[in-house]
Amino acid sequence: MKHTAFKTNPISLEELLRYCGTGKIQLPDFQRSWVWDEDRIKSLIASISQAFPVGALMTLEMKSGAADTFARRLVQGVPPEAAGQAPEQLLLDGQQRMTSLYQTCMRREVVETITPRLKLVKRWFYINIQAALQPDTDREEAIIGVPEDRIIKSDFDRKVVLDLSTPELEYEKLMFPLNQAFEWDAWQEGFGDYWIAKGDIGKREIFKAFKNEVLQSFKGYQVPVIALAPETSHAAVCLVFEKVNTGGKPLDAFELVTAMYAAQGFRLRDDWLGADGQPGMQHRLQVFGRAADQKFGVLEKVASTDVLQAISLLHTAKLREDAVAAGKKDNDLPAVRATRQSLLDIPLSAYEEYRTAVEEGFKTAAKLLRQHHVFRVNDLPYQGQLVPLAAILAKIGDKWQHAAAKQKLARWYWCGIFGELYGSSSESRFAKDILEVPAWIDGGPEPSTVREGVFRAERLRFMRTRQSAAYKGVHALLMGEGAIDFRSGQAFGQTIFFDENVDIHHIFPQDWCRKKGHDVRVFDTIINKTPLGYRTNRTIGGAAPSDYLAKLEAGGKDAQAIAPVTLDDYLRTHAVDPALLRADAFDAFMADRETRLLALISAATGHKISRGGAAPEEGEDVIENALEANLGTTASAEMESA
């Protein structure tokens, strides 16, 4: 019989807040900071004061000796000495509510919060006694926030609107300080003495009514608490946290692993982001991935979870190898994984064992990408393919420098791109890659990615934007095959690439194609595009190919004349037939260049590509059009222009 993994019971608000204050309730370190603004705090207070429900809390019970499963921290505003208390529960859902109530109702210090316009402010919170007793008044209007000096002013601070800077002024204005909502005896006594001295004992009856109708709501308030059993797994805790925090940013595995490692004395976040003036791995990778002083390099978007995935691949692959060496049969072998769950299962010892090799793996990946003419993050065909590439390079070490190994890595890389194999969830492919590619480099059979990475010939006719990995692949492949700029006669090495601001441009210009009535779905494909420098593209303009070629040959103020035979040689490096281009023979050019590009792809992948001329899969062309209208999803506009 399976037992329920949680229990639900109501607990008084006062008891919960006191547990927070003593450290019996703490926060797991993966919880984000308190961020509620002044208006949300007032709304919460108003609900409590009327005994309205404000939702359940969710906690994780801590059994004895297990408090260090996660790193934890105190609720914001709790006295620091409470950190010495081993928590009995970790608060998974309800941090914003409990922190707001603790700071406003239990502390004797000013609350640091923000306005709805995100301006940092310090506030004391009061309840207007008379307004709170009016049945037709919105309770939120009775909750008042005042500045740190307890004086509200107007007219550029020249006029005092409300002064509560002394207890006597609080008594006079009938404004009850919320931080005494659970212990009001001393304030009530001072209030009574003040009005007795004033000869107005009737005010005491007003407070009595306020106490019974409002303050007792705080004192008697019960909060439903869902308590997860202490045996709840890390993965389940993470999942539950995300389910109950749907309004916030999703929690990723890195944050949960950070909390678990911190409990063992290791600061994973500092290792990634840096600390004490020393750069972390993220910064080191970003800087290494940049070339020619570019702002965003090819490793710019490597995430902390990418690093953990690469480590998980290496760790689980080693566990499997050890099991094989121990004689275990296939059914008993541990799985090689890079799933979310596998990241949560990485022991600190494995992270420390593989982290340096994985960092070097990503850096070596950047070197290989540059060799294949991928210099910018927005030209990277598949961000996800970096994970198995880094893991493979970490595993094989210096073998990557051998010519035969480089050739195999290149073929695996291009097969992944032109086979379009890394476009969705690819964890199972990552697992195959880390087992199969190193073995292939050592003389084993071809890996699955190579066998399955066959390009569909008809895809060339429907690739029009950078949203297609194969589109980016053709761009890089042409440069890698020695494409030479039409105007400058320079190959697109790293320096020229950035000096000339090289990008993908049309061979038959768009304006010319439109004037001739050619279909945009044809002339805007990768078949009619090639890498060119910015100034070369400006020279081409919207002219017919025969005209701009003549212009290039003639030279001018800023360019030397080019002999026709030399220019023809330049064109051939772009898989272009010079005769067809000079004749402005658009249809013949498109058919011929499609054949030439397919030959390049075939050579890169090692697969024969059959040309059936089939139409794309249903909806494929529609998808390309939709993606074209949303180019910003791959990289920010700033990255696109970097």
Beta bridge mates, 491 = 484
Instruction: Indicate whether 439 pLDDT > 80.
Output: yes
Nearest to 309 by CA among 252, 238, 248: 252
Between residues 496 and 177, which one has the greater pLDDT? 177
- Verdict on whether the full-model pTM lies above 0.85: no
Helix/strand number for the chain, H first, E second: 30, 16
pLDDT at 67: 47
What percent of the chain clears pLDDT 90, i.e. is strictly above it?
67
pLDDT at 493: 82
Q: Which of 143-152, 420-429, 576-585 has the lowest mean pLDDT?
A: 420-429
Strands 151-154 and 159-163: antiparallel
pLDDT category at 349 given cuts 50, 70, 90 is very high
pLDDT category at 261 given cuts 50, 70, 90 is confident
pLDDT category at 234 given cuts 50, 70, 90 is low
Based on the number of CB atoms within 10 Å of its own CB, is 614 exposed (0-12), middle (13-18) or buried (19 or more)?
exposed
Alpha-carbon gap, residue 146 to 129, rounded angstroms: 15
pLDDT at 122: 94
For 174-192, the DSSP string reads TEEEGGGSS--HHHHHHHH
Instruction: Indicate whether 406 pLDDT > 60.
Output: yes
Beta strand segments in 19-105, E: 25-28, 57-61, 72-73, 89-93
Helix, strand and coil percent figures for the chain, each rounded to 5: 55, 10, 35
Give the tokens for residue 344.
Answer: 């949560």
Nearest to 39 by CA among 51, 47, 27: 47
pLDDT at 238: 63
Which pLDDT tens digit goes with each residue over 573-618? 999 999 999 999 999 999 999 999 999 999 999 999 876 544 444 3
Task: Collapse the DSSP code of 283 into the 3-class scheme (helix H, G, I; strand E, B; otherwise coil) and give the result.
Answer: helix
Which pLDDT tens digit goes with each residue over 1-46? 344 455 678 999 999 999 999 999 998 876 667 778 899 999 999 9
pLDDT at 251: 56
Alpha-carbon gap, residue 51 to 372, rounded angstroms: 66
Q: Which of 45-54, 194-203, 240-249, 523-532 has the lowest mean pLDDT?
A: 240-249
In degrees rounded to 5, what are phi and psi of residue 78? Answer: -75, 145
* Per-residue burial over 486-509, b = 16 or more CB atoms within 10 Å of its CB, e = otherwise: bbbebebeeebbbebebbbbbbbb
